[in-house]
């Protein structure tokens, strides 16, 4: 039996994905607090008002897969409930460094959307919930948006050498935002800061 916390990428391994405590005890999370999301939300005044509390917006667990095209990187992502102004908590979102790379997300808990867009401007929001899988095609940036009242937890998988390009999104943002409408239901709207 392999030692707990070790992953044999050459011979295979079993990982305990029991999420009762947020994640397997064998993986370490990367946390993103509100202070690390500067420029991601459209409402600067609402962002500044929440900044002193600096809530945890999301975290993800990756297992350090070899960065080879033949390996599969996978893990879980947890986007917490909350809003900045009317805009729901979300992940930063990213393109893959190898743009021609797809990714799969599978809903484990909570509800929300996978917001995707390609460089040419095609944008779609796919609903995600427990038992639903979302296929993010190659060439599409993607971000998880939690529109519910409990953590949105997803399992993800992509090719090991895909890499992450956060810089494009940090610079330009997404073309669309998902906000709470006047009726309290999620709606997609144009991002007034896109490309500014």
Supply angle C-alpha 14, 20, 22, rounded to 5: 80
pTM: 0.89
Q: Which two tokens stand for residue 6?
A: 């070790």
| Count of beta carbons in the 10 Å neighbourhood of residue 162 | 23
- Each residue of 166-180: pLDDT tens digit? 998 888 889 999 999
**For residue 162, is it within any domain?**
yes
Whole-number Å distance between alpha carbons of 72 and 57: 26
- Each residue of 120-162: pLDDT tens digit? 999 999 999 999 999 999 999 999 999 999 999 999 999 999 9
**For residue 195, is it within any domain?**
no
What CATH number should be reported for the domain holding residue 96?
2.60.120.10
The pLDDT value recorded for residue 21 is 45
Task: Judge whether 78 and 60 are in contact, CB under 8 Å.
Answer: yes
**For residue 38, is it within any domain?**
yes
**Could you tell me where the beta strands, DSSP code E, fall in the chain?**
29-33, 56-62, 72-79, 83-84, 87-88, 103-109, 112-117, 123-128, 133-136, 141-146, 152-159, 176-180, 186-190
Whole-number Å distance between alpha carbons of 163 and 73: 10
Residue 90 has pLDDT above 90, yes or no: yes
Residue 8 has pLDDT above 70, yes or no: yes
Residue 3 has pLDDT above 70, yes or no: no
Residue 121: exposure state from Cβ atoms within 10 A (0-12, 13-18, ≥19): exposed
**For residue 185, is it within any domain?**
yes
Q: Which two tokens stand for residue 36?
A: 């690390």
The pLDDT value recorded for residue 17 is 62
Q: Note down the domain range covering 91.
A: 29-190
**For residue 74, is it within any domain?**
yes
- End-to-end Cα separation, the chain, in angstroms: 54
Torsional sign, CA 37, 38, 40, 43: positive
- Each residue of 9-57: pLDDT tens digit? 777 877 666 544 444 555 678 999 999 999 999 999 999 999 999 999 9
Task: Judge whether 12 and 2 are in contact, CB under 8 Å.
Answer: no
**For residue 9, is it within any domain?**
no
Distance of CA 96 to the CA centre of its chain: 13
**For residue 15, is it within any domain?**
no
Q: How many domains does the chain have?
A: 1
* Closest among 141, 147, 157 to 111, alpha carbons compared: 147
**For residue 83, is it within any domain?**
yes
Residue 1 pLDDT class (50, 70, 90 cuts): very low
């Amino acid at each position: 039996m392999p030692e707990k916390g070790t992953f044999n990428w050459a011979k295979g391994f079993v990982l305990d994905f029991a999420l009762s405590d947020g994640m397997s005890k064998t993986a370490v999370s990367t946390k993103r607090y509100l202070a690390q999301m500067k420029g991601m939300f459209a409402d600067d005044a609402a962002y500044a008002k929440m900044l002193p509390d600096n809530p945890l917006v999301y975290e993800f667990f990756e297992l350090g897969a070899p960065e080879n095209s033949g390996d599969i990187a996978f893990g879980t992502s947890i986007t917490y409930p909350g809003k900045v102004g009317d805009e729901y908590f979300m992940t930063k979102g990213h393109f893959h460094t190898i743009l021609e790379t797809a990714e799969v997300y599978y809903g484990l808990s909570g509800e929300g959307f996978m917001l995707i867009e390609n460089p040419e401007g095609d944008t779609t929001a796919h609903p995600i919930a427990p038992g639903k899988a979302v296929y993010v095609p190659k060439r599409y940036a993607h971000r998880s948006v939690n529109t519910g009242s409990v953590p949105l937890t997803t399992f993800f998988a992509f090719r090991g050498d895909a890499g992450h390009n956060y810089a494009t999104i940090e610079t330009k943002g997404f073309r669309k935002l998902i906000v709470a409408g006047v009726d309290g239901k999620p709606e997609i709207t144009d991002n007034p800061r896109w490309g500014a």
